[in-house]
A and B are shown apart, each in its own frame.
Chain A
Amino acid sequence: MFSVSHKTAFVVDHCPYMAESSRQLIECDMLTKSRSQGVIPLAPVSKSLWTCAIECSMEYCRILFDVYPTWKLVNYIVSDSEVHILNSWKQEDQNTHELMAALAAVGPPNPRQDPECCSVLHGLVAAVESLCKITEYQHESRTTLMDTADRVANRGRIICLTNAKSDTHVRMLEDCVLETIQEQNKRAAGSDRLMPIQQCELVLVHIYPQGEETLVSDRQKKELSSMLSSEVHSVRAGRYLASKLNVLVQQHFDLASTTITNIPMKEEQHANTSANYDVELLHHRDAHMEFIKSGDLHMAGSTSRDSGLKETVTLKWCTPRTNSVELHYCTGAYRISPVDVNSRPSSCLTNFLLNGRSVLLEQPRKSGSKVISHMLSSHGGEIFLHVLNSTRSTLEDPPSISEGCGGRVTDYRITDFGEFMRENRLTPFPDSMIDAAGRTPVERAKSQLERYTRYWPMIISQTTIFNMQAVVPLANLIVKDTLTDEDVLTCQKTVYNLVDMERKSDPLPISTVGSRGKGPKRDEQYRIMWNELETLVKAHVGTSERHQRVLECISACRSKPPEEEERKKRGRKREDKEDKTEKNGKDTEEKGWTTDSERLKGVMEREKDEQSECEIIKDSPDSPEPLNKKPRLATEEQQPPEKSKE
């Protein structure tokens, strides 16, 4: 968890000699067609050693922050006659913008400064001191571990960009770092905010101008002590330095390179033609795990690039593209950083992805079928390389869900449960959001699910109230944790409305499954409905006093035997007429049921038998439109047939 790459201290030499020119010339006065003749082009510019060091180290940081936005920290130190520490280990300091601002304040080295009092040593000492400082992550880890806090490791790396005089000078720098570590470790042992360094990697990069002979020799990594290892890279300024640091950032952070090839792009000049481009990306090397393990790295189209220092795996842009509603079987997702971030092909690709589109990538193979192995996709402004499973699945040809338990049941409340799922969608809450009872958001989500499911019949023929529009307002409210007086009023209105329906003897959507003939009598239907409603409300009666009031209202209002007697007498005459309306009602309702059953069919791919047994009336025709039945239900009714085609 706290490996050497947790902390990286950059030490950049700011002494007068770094102001020297790198002697790499850049023509910035490009001749254009419209240029009138006789104009003498401006002299090319050249970067100083300092500028080369800064821009390459910034590039190192850019790639690092893109791929690891957290946990991998940089402390940037500039050294001349004194030490300039440009940022801290704090996570909020870890971005290139802050560093650039701080570097601008430091400015280029002053060639007229007295070279005698300037040295990169100050910076190296500061870097060691800094590595002893505890990071937020180390602190957090130590706090949670308590007794075993000493198991939290403190390791780090120092990357020193300098211009050394000789091999002896390099050895002097190494000795100084070693001595400082020993010194600082003694100090750190007695402090809470400091930690002794267990392991430190020193990477010395000697930068010299182009066209000069180097005075310092390259040296492989060598253990100077159990705590310190050191390596020396002697590099010419300019693009050699850039590619060296690019290789280093890959080594230091386990990165690998993928080149996306065959990216179709419109030509700038001729909008109707398109050419194919390549873009190189860096990412964690685990994205290539399958190639590495199978020994396919070379077969997969990996080639050596540029200086022969790095390898890249080539993957082909693949059409057709994929859409975001498809759930791919993805075994890993790794953040990427383009190698050449603001080249036109790179920014074209990244903008395409940032706009929310995804691209499948294909492994180029000499022969055989095409294998899609990766996908590029962005989430919240970050681009990830997804690794897709491209081998045979062990789960192929499973039994269909319709063949298993519950698979023969046809009238699941699929739409209602869909609505339930929408109501129980999750959303992120800020870290401090803990409610009065000390519950985290996810605990609240669970307790909401518990409340919402206290009474939840799974099939249409098991319920009457959930097939009635008239009950919806109450059913939506009663599951809530708290009710307002207004909510109670709405529930009471719902109950009065039901009483009214009963008085008018409106038909109810009672299931007739399993029973012959017309099913239960109207009185019996209402008795069943009231009982079910009571069951629902009773399940929530303990929640609050207001929930209790809803139950009291039902008990007070629900049909009582004397009233029933009375109504029977009055009702005789109306019954014929009613039967007619009931039939009409049934017809319209049956249509609704048919679409519903079609959806079920689509969902469960099942045979048609047994369906005719169910006769469901979704609703009473003259029940009023409920207050908060959502309008989106209507649109939803139209969508499902399309979805179920999948």
Chain B
Amino acid sequence: MPTVVLLDSSLSMTRPVSVEGSEEFQRKNLAVHGLTMLFEHMATNYRLEFTSLVAFSSLWELLVPFSRDYNTLQEALNNLEDYDKTCLEAALQGVSNVVQQEWGTSCPCQVVLVTDGALGIGRGSLRHSLQTVKQRVDDKKFPLPFPFPSKLYVMCIANAEELQATDSMDNLEQLINLNGGEGQIYTMEGPLCLKSVQSMFGKLIDQAYSPFHAVLRCGNLTSDVQVFPRPEPVTIDEEVDPIPKTVQTDLEIVGFIEIGDISSPPVLSRHLVLPIAVSKEGDEIGTGATDDTEEETSTNQMAGKSPNFCVLLHGSLKVEGMVALVQLGPDWFGMLYSQADSKKKSNLMMSLFDPGSEPLPWLGRMSQLGPASDAAENPYGEDDSKSPFPIQPKHKRSYAQNVTVWIKASGLQTDVQKILRNAKKLPEKTQTFYKELNRLRKAALAFGFWELLKSVAELLERECTLLPDSAHPDAAFQLSHAAQQLKLASSGDSKYAAFEQNITPMLTDFSGGGGADRI
């Protein structure tokens, strides 16, 4: 889940903070201090997160595009300049553009807005933006809610009292509401100082950047893992009981399925599953990432040399071309598989299915999947030539069952032509002739289209008179028989017009030796 840090660099951020000590701080220094702490946390515990830095005043500027290089981010932060007034709407629009260009509209993003809460005056101020939010034309819409799933965290380098004294707090709250309630406002507690800014950013880190640790389990084989990005709670769009579902920290494998059988299933999100070593004190000593400090290197090497279940699982999944089904919570499943990137580096990946008892129609109900060895007969066949998947639905779809549709004249004409074509090749095509004839008859009866039956009967009678002398004698018999049956059906007489009934070929002296039974 990429992060955009949107940093207020208007002049009001340079306001000094009164501190009893010797040094004098500006609000900007506190903001930089807090963000430094956030970047340091990410560099150690969340280093796969892409972060970008945008500074804004009346204009906005992308200082660092999405990157995992926290040194560059830190550097840009340290070299920040001061500009004019605050104009939040343009900056939010900028964030929206930056995110969409990089990640499209389906990737969830976190936006961390750092401001002193002085949100501008007059045109371009947040107050003005919010007042006019309902009067916008289509191409000048307010950037919130963002078109991508998002969380907006507002970090105020100010305390709550200060913000409530003006309408700043109200405006910020409105901002969160505009984003569908997705987000939160953080304010500083007590005097504005390094300590309180630390505590505020600490809360943000706990809320949004705490790594997700879990235990991956396959029976008695286990591995401690970090799941990245961390899976967020999911609310199913149901009117009856919308309770957000969270992924449990015990990821239990329930069994295995071939990749061909699971067949590119739709997923909610994808996550890396990184094995982690947990030391006796419970501290994590490395998530398997690169660029370790020297101290970590030795412990990491140790961890690298002791067997880990994730590596075994990954290797076998890759070689066998299989996925492991994993239970994420009650009635919620996902899959583990090996994923290789363009550089041939490969990894254990976990995808989450939609919560619910039957996320994939071709697998059926998840709770009804059991060990193949329990089945009376091996569903995969003794030589692995069969598969119990995909599950076939009870009824075939229209495109799989040769339905009759005559909405366009061409549909009807094609069907009549098919009958005539076969009529000309009687008796060789007797079976096909009657099959097509019965298909037309059924549809005509259902649609109450008796006139068509009469017409086709006439066509067949005429075909009969046009038969060449060389024609097989059976042809004439079959044509007049079929024509007569159609006419009877067109009378609506229940004896001849039953839907399930079929016109069968006439038994003639010739048909025994003819082609009737052969096809």
Residues on A with beta carbons closer than 8 Å to the beta carbon of B448: 48, 50-51, 54, 103, 106-109
Bound: A90/B87 CA distance, A: 59
Bound: A486/B255 CA distance, A: 28
Q: Does B165 contact A (CB under 8 A)?
A: no
Contact status of A431 and B260, CB under 8 A, knowing A337-B399, A386-B266:
no
A28 touches B412 (CB 8 A): yes
Q: Could you list 26 A-B pairs, sorted by A, with CB under 8 Å?
A: A1-B240, A62-B403, A69-B393, A328-B264, A329-B267, A329-B351, A330-B264, A379-B390, A380-B389, A382-B362, A391-B106, A399-B290, A401-B275, A401-B311, A404-B274, A404-B304, A406-B312, A426-B371, A427-B369, A429-B368, A429-B374, A442-B366, A442-B367, A442-B370, A446-B219, A604-B315
Q: Does A153 contact B (CB under 8 A)?
A: yes
Contact status of A327 and B417, CB under 8 A, knowing A394-B103, A427-B375:
no
A426 touches B325 (CB 8 A): yes
Residues on A with beta carbons closer than 8 Å to the beta carbon of B317: 421
* Cross-interface CB contact of A418 among B320, B349, B388, B466, cutoff 8 Å: B320
* Cross-interface CB contact of B373 among A392, A397, A423, A429, cutoff 8 Å: A423
A405 touches B370 (CB 8 A): no
Bound: A499/B315 CA distance, A: 35
Contact status of A429 and B370, CB under 8 A, knowing A27-B413, A413-B312, A453-B220:
yes
Within 8 A of A (CB), among B391-438: 391-400, 402-414, 416-417, 420, 424
Which listed segment binds A: B176-184, B196-204, B339-347?
B339-347
Most chain B CB within a 10 A radius of its CB, from A101, A375, A408: A408
B277 touches A456 (CB 8 A): no
Within 8 A of B (CB), among A435-462: 440-442, 444-446, 448-454, 456, 458-459, 462
Q: Does B15 contact A (CB under 8 A)?
A: no
Within 8 A of B (CB), among A346-395: 346-347, 350, 354, 358, 375, 377, 379-383, 386-387, 389-395
Q: Does B314 contact A (CB under 8 A)?
A: yes
Q: Does A134 contact B (CB under 8 A)?
A: no
B301 touches A381 (CB 8 A): no
Interface of A is mostly: mixed
**Which residue of chain B has its CB nearest to the CB of A145?**
B240
Within 8 A of A (CB), among B74-116: 100, 102-107
- B331 nearest CB across to chain A (Å): 10
Q: Does B519 contact A (CB under 8 A)?
A: no
Bound: A289/B147 CA distance, A: 11
Residues on B with beta carbons closer than 8 Å to the beta carbon of A36: 466
Bound: A193/B397 CA distance, A: 31
Q: Does B192 contact A (CB under 8 A)?
A: no
Q: How many residues of B contact A (CB 8 A)?
A: 158
Residues on A with beta carbons closer than 8 Å to the beta carbon of B102: 391-392
**Which residue of chain A has its CB nearest to the CB of B100?**
A294
Residues on A with beta carbons closer than 8 Å to the beta carbon of B447: 47, 51, 54-55, 58, 103
Q: Does A66 contact B (CB under 8 A)?
A: yes
Residues on A with beta carbons closer than 8 Å to the beta carbon of B137: none
B373 touches A386 (CB 8 A): no
Bound: A328/B451 CA distance, A: 52
A412 touches B407 (CB 8 A): no
B328-365 to A contact mask, C-beta < 8 Å, 1/0: 00000000010111011111110100000000011111
Bound: A243/B52 CA distance, A: 49
A330 touches B267 (CB 8 A): yes
**Which residue of chain B has its CB nearest to the CB of A14?**
B448
Q: Does A181 contact B (CB under 8 A)?
A: no
* Cross-interface CB contact of B107 among A153, A394, A444, cutoff 8 Å: A394
Which 7 residue pairs across A and B have the least CB separation, nearest first?
Answer: A404-B288, A406-B308, A441-B370, A108-B448, A391-B104, A453-B219, A380-B390
Q: Does A42 contact B (CB under 8 A)?
A: yes
Bound: A131/B309 CA distance, A: 56
* Cross-interface CB contact of A421 among B322, B383, B417, B492, cutoff 8 Å: B322
Q: Does B1 contact A (CB under 8 A)?
A: yes
A342 touches B369 (CB 8 A): no
Q: Does A85 contact B (CB under 8 A)?
A: no
Residues on A with beta carbons closer than 8 Å to the beta carbon of B289: 399, 403-404
Q: Does A225 contact B (CB under 8 A)?
A: no
Q: Does B40 contact A (CB under 8 A)?
A: no
Within 8 A of B (CB), among A580-635: 599-600, 603-605, 632
Query: Chain A, interface size: which category?
Result: 35 or more
Within 8 A of B (CB), among A419-436: 420-431, 433
Q: Does A326 contact B (CB under 8 A)?
A: yes
Q: Does B247 contact A (CB under 8 A)?
A: no
Within 8 A of B (CB), among A136-157: 141, 145, 148, 151-153
Bound: A332/B359 CA distance, A: 11
Q: Does B166 contact A (CB under 8 A)?
A: no
Within 8 A of A (CB), among B447-461: 447-452, 455-456, 458-459
B323 touches A327 (CB 8 A): yes
Most chain B CB within a 10 A radius of its CB, from A32, A66, A425: A425
- A427 nearest CB across to chain B (Å): 4
**Which residue of chain B has its CB nearest to the CB of A455?**
B220
A180-193 to B contact mask, C-beta < 8 Å, 1/0: 00000000000000
* Cross-interface CB contact of A603 among B223, B272, B315, B362, cutoff 8 Å: B315
B262-275 to A contact mask, C-beta < 8 Å, 1/0: 11111100111011
**Which residue of chain A has its CB nearest to the CB of B237?**
A1
**Which residue of chain B has its CB nearest to the CB of A632?**
B384
Contact status of A45 and B452, CB under 8 A, knowing A329-B270, A396-B341, A454-B220:
yes
- B208 nearest CB across to chain A (Å): 15
B388 touches A346 (CB 8 A): no
Residues on A with beta carbons closer than 8 Å to the beta carbon of B368: 428-431, 433, 440-442
A337 touches B267 (CB 8 A): no
Residues on A with beta carbons closer than 8 Å to the beta carbon of B290: 399, 403
